[in-house]
Chain A
């Protein structure tokens, strides 16, 4: 870290997975309605939260993400009937695995958002970013060259 926390707050990088039908549309809705939220989340669209392979989450953490957001349709509203329940099962499984890897459970969040819930989507992202900010950077291995690279690169694109 080149800047001290006093001069510049820690800006977490968060990877978010959304389903195509509800939560991605919630993000669209937040955009259309010009609701403001923190710019720390970078979204990946899947067709369904059920597509979420736990590998994706681990890959994101391994690649330097400070947190991961998983979002899908509300239980009962899944475009594919019940697949979001499968995402939910994996979410709880992943939390346990992450805990064993020493990653705080607060770095993984599951968010149900319908296509009409842009406001909820924006609000939840803000609270998640604050939560991760409070946890600080993911000290996966601070001395690894990848993490040092990440810091440099994040600053360069800014």
Chain B
């Protein structure tokens, strides 16, 4: 054996030593594994302490160790600690292996003898593995200073502004004609009842005017190439049929457009818009779009009213979709949410019963810029309701639909109840499963609603019907519910019902995640790198997530995540280059037969095929190190650093004690 290996067994106080006989393990490692190159084996109370680390460093220098095995906690906790300790003593950090005898042994087993035996096997595996470790250097790649933010809702706006204010360029891509997202549709925001537009539109204007922000509205990302620091993103800029350079946003075109269509997006079907339109008066950018799906010119070939009246000749019916490719170093995905489709619960009568509304429709109804000027009236446009039912958890916390809590509906429903009280004086019934108000000022808002006299009925609504059983129910919507606090079935007649539909991942979230190379949860929310400690990064370097795309959340949380993603990215930009873990695959050209099996296996398109040489090559900056190609190569031409075949096969031998001759094991 040419390697000189040091084995360090941690007591972790009594966390390990309470179950595993660490002294015996250390003694055994020093003796039985001496033939495998172990020159020293020690146990110590806390290996991660500075004294513990110094112990290792001292041995590296004095004993001239070439490899270090630490048997302690999970590598996810302290791998970096011990690698840095080795680095401090002049040993390449990748020559250190941390094996877990705490999470995988002492914490999960009660049989001390068996746990001690397992610890020995684990260390034996670590020793065999570490022999085959190589000295590695992290990969360094430069970072392009520009960032792309996908999604112009409040989370994306916040991220874009933070980065742009710090002096770096941002491309903000938004699918709709204007930024603003769902927040622009709302009337008031809980629990302070700030006017949503009043707090949002100044930020939208800032985005529109910011010298560092390139706004790409009515645009969608088509393709993402490259890797952290060096993404090339292709964006499809849909034809607006408006020359942005000439348009002043005067609004004559949409005044003159003779055609009206129901606005399903911004007005949630509650109002109409023209074929040429901006979604709302404060839209950013100010230029309208001509919707070629509805514009009569595109279907019949005549009209052009807008063009005739445009004072600056800004209408251009010949415009085509454009494909633009931009270079960015990092990307924020803030693509937001879709509303749960309440039609999936037919017993709630949406669409069949006129005065059953979704939460988004009700937001528009309350909004001073909405279809009724902020008057809460029934679909007939004039009758003020005398009683309103608000149903919480529609499609949420329900095994038939979405099992999760949509997190915002309780507060939103309380807000609705308040607005109904304030504007109509109607009786309000809130039907809830549990009231969840866990943020600053939220519980106080709930108390306020209780004092306002809102009727809270604890129970899941079974049915909403217009079939009357008593004279009082005639002409009303009747809410059938089991009031679980009094243990009785109740029928409550109301004039209007608001369904607080839950939040869902965007219908195309999965495709978007695939395009950007990130993972989704079972419900298609984007998966963060760590649910607690790294909530805005993803497993793909350089791609960050913010807002509801990551999971249901309210405006303060979305803003916090947008800012957090920006802070993470600014840190990366400032470093100018990024160090990547050198766990990468590489192909030996001599051995590669050019079969291309690996090409299609790589989810990151990191493997290029050289037609001229008929061999494949791994782009180390694109490779994420999963090792699938290594396992698949029929010629064994691909090796994976950090997880090579030699390392794994040797670890198997070590774990099965094949490395120790029987007589030494007995001794």
Known contacts: A81-B514, A81-B519. The answer to whether A31 contacts B108 by CB under 8 A is yes
- Minimum CB–CB distance from B97 to chain A (whole Å) comes to 10
- Minimum CB–CB distance from A85 to chain B (whole Å) comes to 10
Known contacts: A25-B76, A150-B656. The answer to whether A47 contacts B625 by CB under 8 A is yes
Number of interface residues of A (CB under 8 A): 60
CB distance B645 to A36 under 8 Å?
A: no
CB distance B519 to A42 under 8 Å?
A: no
CB distance A157 to B665 under 8 Å?
A: yes
- Minimum CB–CB distance from B540 to chain A (whole Å) comes to 9
CB-CB < 8 A to A86: which residues of B? 601, 628, 632
CB-CB < 8 A to A25: which residues of B? 76
Across the two chains, which residue of chain B brings its CB closest to A54? B631
CB-CB < 8 A to A117: which residues of B? none
B662 at the interface (CB under 8 A from A): yes
Binds A, one of B172-180, B263-271, B520-528: B520-528
- Minimum CB–CB distance from A112 to chain B (whole Å) comes to 11
Per-residue contact bits, chain B 289-320, to A (CB 8 Å; 1 contact, 0 not): 00000000000000000000000000000000
CB distance A154 to B657 under 8 Å?
A: yes
CB distance B631 to A44 under 8 Å?
A: no
A146–B657 alpha-carbon span in the complex (Å): 11
A28–B98 alpha-carbon span in the complex (Å): 14
CB-CB < 8 A to A149: which residues of B? 662
A55–B646 alpha-carbon span in the complex (Å): 11
A56 at the interface (CB under 8 A from B): yes
Interface residues of B in 627-647 (CB under 8 A from A): 627-628, 630-632, 640, 642-643, 645
CB distance A31 to B627 under 8 Å?
A: no
CB distance B74 to A28 under 8 Å?
A: yes
CB distance A56 to B656 under 8 Å?
A: no
A27–B631 alpha-carbon span in the complex (Å): 23
CB-CB < 8 A to B105: which residues of A? 39
CB distance A47 to B627 under 8 Å?
A: yes
- Minimum CB–CB distance from A12 to chain B (whole Å) comes to 12
A123–B38 alpha-carbon span in the complex (Å): 36
CB-CB < 8 A to A65: which residues of B? 652, 656
CB distance B75 to A76 under 8 Å?
A: no
Interface class of chain A by DSSP: mixed
CB distance A79 to B103 under 8 Å?
A: no
Known contacts: A36-B108, A157-B117. The answer to whether A47 contacts B655 by CB under 8 A is no
Per-residue contact bits, chain B 460-491, to A (CB 8 Å; 1 contact, 0 not): 00000000000000000000000000000000
Known contacts: A59-B652, A157-B28. The answer to whether A51 contacts B118 by CB under 8 A is no
B114 at the interface (CB under 8 A from A): yes
A60 at the interface (CB under 8 A from B): yes
Across the two chains, which residue of chain A brings its CB closest to B110? A36
Interface residues of A in 21-53 (CB under 8 A from B): 21, 24-25, 27-28, 30-32, 34-39, 42-48, 50-53
CB-CB < 8 A to B522: which residues of A? 74, 76-77
Binds A, one of B119-127, B217-225, B373-381: B119-127
A74–B519 alpha-carbon span in the complex (Å): 11
**Which of A32, A46, A60 has a CB less than 8 Å from the CB of B656?**
A60
A80–B519 alpha-carbon span in the complex (Å): 7
CB distance A80 to B626 under 8 Å?
A: yes
CB distance A51 to B110 under 8 Å?
A: no
CB distance B125 to A55 under 8 Å?
A: no
B111 at the interface (CB under 8 A from A): yes
B104 at the interface (CB under 8 A from A): yes
CB distance A56 to B665 under 8 Å?
A: no
CB distance B660 to A51 under 8 Å?
A: no
A15 at the interface (CB under 8 A from B): yes
Across the two chains, which residue of chain A brings its CB closest to B625? A47
A158 at the interface (CB under 8 A from B): yes
CB distance A44 to B103 under 8 Å?
A: no
Q: Which 10 A-B residue pairs are closest in the complex by CB-CB distance?
A: A31-B103, A51-B627, A50-B628, A81-B603, A48-B626, A80-B626, A53-B631, A31-B107, A39-B114, A158-B117
Interface set of A (CB-CB < 8 Å, partner B): 11, 13, 15, 21, 24-25, 27-28, 30-32, 34-39, 42-48, 50-56, 59-60, 63-65, 73-74, 76-83, 86, 90, 115-116, 122, 146, 149-150, 152-154, 156-158
22 A–B pairs (Cβ distance < 8 Å), ordered by A: A34-B108, A37-B108, A39-B117, A44-B648, A47-B640, A51-B627, A51-B631, A53-B648, A74-B522, A76-B519, A76-B522, A77-B521, A79-B519, A79-B539, A81-B519, A83-B628, A146-B658, A152-B662, A153-B662, A153-B665, A158-B113, A158-B116
Known: A32-B107, A79-B539, A81-B514. 6 other contacts (CB 8 A): A31-B107, A43-B104, A56-B648, A79-B626, A122-B108, A154-B117
